[in-house]
Amino acid sequence: MTEFLTALCLAVAIEGIAYAAFPDAMRRTMAKIALMPSGSLRRIGLGAAIIAIGGLWLLRSALITP
């Protein structure tokens, strides 16, 4: 549970930094995302999740295996 909360806090921190550093670009990006069809958003989200889970799996495998 600690690892999950750590990852969640890190994700929020990274997103916060993006909004603080590039507020206008983030606003434009959110406006474009709001206009995208639901199916496209679903595919992008699923793809990002698969890539992230695969990356975590590879990272964990490399760290656990000597």
List, for residues 2-38, the tens digit of each pLDDT value: 888 999 999 999 999 999 999 999 999 999 999 999 9
Q: What is the DSSP string of the chain?
A: -HHHHHHHHHHHHHHHHHHHH-HHHHHHHHHHHHHS-HHHHHHHHHHHHHHHHHHHHHHHHHHH--
CB 26 within 8 A of CB 19: yes
Residue 13 located in a structural domain? no
Residue 34 located in a structural domain? yes
pTM for the model: 0.71
CB 19 within 8 A of CB 27: no
Residue 8 located in a structural domain? no
Residue 31 located in a structural domain? yes
- Is the pLDDT confidence value at 54 over 90? yes
Show the domain range for 62: 23-66
